[in-house]
Amino acid sequence: MNPIIIYTSIDSKKNAKTLAKIIINNHLAACVNIIPIEESIYYWEGKLESESEFQLMKKTDIK
């Protein structure tokens, strides 16, 4: 067994829950945690941006 954790950011809690259910239903991960992120700050197309988002933490293994 080679356990790994994969992080993915997504724009809303609704989309996070939808994606988590797809991942679990397709047995792509043993567990998915949805973590609210208060604020992410980043550059996009040369402009400083800021927004709240959700992070999915997926626990799986390399097969």
Percent helix, percent strand, percent coil in the chain, to nearest 5: 20, 60, 20
| pLDDT tens per residue, range 2-57 | 888 999 999 999 999 999 999 999 999 999 999 998 888 999 999 999 999 999 99
Can you say whether the dihedral through the CA atoms of 15, 40, 24, 31 is positive or negative? negative
Position 10 scores a pLDDT of 93
Neighbour tally for 6: CB within 10 Å: 13
Domains defined along the chain, listed by start: 3-61 (3.30.70.120)
For the entire predicted model, the pTM comes to 0.79
Position 62 scores a pLDDT of 80
Q: Which of 6, 20, 5, 8 is nearest to 53 (CA)?
A: 8
Q: Which amino acid type is present at position 13? A: K
